[in-house]
Structure 1
Amino acid sequence: MTEIEQLLDRVADQARNTRPWGWPSLPEPVEKAALTRAEEALGFSLPPLLAELYLRIGDGGFGPGYGLLPLLDSPPSSEPAAVPQYLANRESGRKDPEWPWPEGILPISHWGCGMYACVDCRTPHATVLLYEPNADEADRAWYVDAPALTEWLQVWLDGTGWYEESHDGPDPTPWPDFRIRAGVTRAA
C-alpha cells in the first residue's frame, strides 16, 4: 500500500468520526462527472490527492476547521461550495485590483471571519495556503499553511495544527509568491 493510500485510509477513518458542520452523516463522494464539471468551470485540474478526497471519501464535511467545502453544491450546509467560491473570489478580485485572487488558488475549507484554507492547484505538491482577509493589505493576507496537501492532512490527523489549542509549533509563514501569482506589481 502506498503512502497516499495509507493517508487516504486514515482520512477516511477520521472523516467517519467528525462532523464539523453538524451534518448527521458524511456526504457521499462526488461522481467522476461532477469532478469533470468542476474542473471545466475552474479551467484547471484539481491536484490528484484533492480529487481523490472528493471522489473516495465525501463531498466535504471532514477535515480541519469547518472541514472541506463541498465541491460544487452547498446542501445540506450553509457553507459555500469550493468552485462557486473560487469563481466569486476571482470576479471580486477583478473588480477590486487592490485585493486580487490569484488564479489556481482553490478555497477548500472555511475557518470563519472570511478566512480560508486554499490549495494551490498549480504547484506539484498542492501547497496549502491560508487566506486571512483581515490584514490591511492583500499581500499580507496570504500565508503558507503547509508546503503540501499531504502534510496539511497529516497535521490535521495528528492534531498538531496552528488551530489546535495545544499547538506549540511554528505558525503559518507569509506566502512569498503572492505578488507574482496575483500579477501585482510594486509601486516604483
Structure 2
Amino acid sequence: MTEHEQLLTRVEAKARNTRPWGWTSLPAPVDAATLARAEAALGFRLPPLLAELYLRIGDGGFGPEYGLLPLLDSPPAGEPAAVPQYLANRESGRSDPDWPWPEGVLPISHWGCAMYACVDCLAPEATVLLFEPNPGDPERAWFVDAPSLTDWLRAWVDGTGWYEEMNEELEMVPWPDFRIRTAPVQAP
C-alpha cells in the first residue's frame, strides 16, 4: 500500500469514528458529476487529494474542529459549502479592495469566528492556509497552516495540529504570497 493510500485509509477510519462539532453523521461522498460542477463553478480543478476526500470519504463532516465543509450544498446545520463560500469571498473582495480573497484559495474548514482553513488549489503541493481576519489587518490575516494537504491531514489523524490542546503554542508563519495572489492584473 502506498503512503498516499495509507493516509486515505487512516483519514477514512478517523472520519467514520469521530464527528466534528455540529455533525451527526458522515455524509455520503459526492459523485464525479458533482465534482465536475464544483470545478466548473470555481474555474480550476481541485488538488487530487482533496478531490479524493470528497469522492471517497464524504461530502464534508470530517476533520478537525467543525470539519471539512461540504463541496456545493450546505448541510442542515447551515455551515457554508466550500464552493459558494469561495465565490462569495471572491465577490466581497472585489467590492472591498482592502480584503481581497486570493484566487484559487478554497476554504475547506470553518474554525469559527470568521476563521477558515483553506487549500491553495493553484499550488502544486496544495498548501493549507489559515485565514484569521480577527486582528483586523488583511496583511496579517493569512498564515501557512501546513506545507501540503497531506501534512494537514496527517496532523489531524496524528493529533499534532496547532488546534490540539497540547499544541496551542505552535506559531504559524505568514503566507508570503498573499499580496502576489491578490494584486490586480495590470493591462499590457
Indicate the TM-score class for this superposition, using the shorter chain for normalisation: over 0.9
Shift of 1:21: 3.7
Q: Which residue of 2 aligns with 1:91?
A: 91
CA-to-aligned-CA distance 1:99-120 (integer Å, 9 cap, x gap): 0000000000000000000000
**Structure 1 range deviating more: 149-158 or 135-144:** 135-144
Q: Which amino acid aligns with 2:137?
A: E
Aligned partners of 1:169, 1:48: CA distance in 2, in Å? 31
TM-score normalised by the chain length of structure 2: 0.95
Q: Cα offset for 1:20?
A: 1.0
Q: Name 2:73's counterpart in structure 1.
A: 73
Q: Does 2:16 correspond to 1:13?
A: no
SS in 1 for 2:179: helix
In the TM superposition, structure 1's runs of 4+ consecutive aligned residues that sit over 2 Å from their partners are 21-24
1:20 is matched by which residue type in structure 2?
P
2:108 aligns with: 108
Q: Which amino acid aligns with 1:10?
A: R
Q: Which runs of 5+ in 2 are unaligned?
A: none
TM superposition shift of 1:43: 0.2
1:176 and 1:14 mapped to 2: Cα distance?
32
Shift of 1:173: 1.0
Range moving further from structure 2, 52-61 or 129-138: 129-138
Structure 1 CA distance for aligned equivalents of residues 24 and 133 of structure 2: 31
The farther-off stretch of 154-163 and 107-116 is 154-163
Q: Structure 1: which 5+ residue stretches go unaligned?
A: none
Please state how far the C-alpha of 1:169 moved relative to its aligned partner. Answer: 6.3
CA shift, 1:122, in A, is 0.5
What is the alpha-carbon distance in structure 2 between the residues aligned to residue 112 and residue 86 of structure 1? 16
Q: How many residues align?
A: 185
Q: Are 2:94 and 1:55 equivalent residues in the alignment?
A: no
CA shift, 1:167, in A, is 0.9
Alignment of 1:165 onto 2:165: yes
Q: Secondary structure at the match of 2:109?
A: strand
Task: Report deviation, 1:22.
Answer: 3.6
Please say if residues 108 and 118 of structure 2, whose CA atoms lie closer than 8 Å, have aligned partners that are also in contact.
yes
Identical-pair percentage: 75
Partner of 1:131: 131
The TM-score, its normalising length taken from structure 1, stands at: 0.95
Aligned Cα RMSD in Å? 1.4
Maintained 8 Å contact 2:67/2:110: yes
Shift of 1:142: 0.2
* 1:21–1:77 Cα contact (<8 Å) kept: no
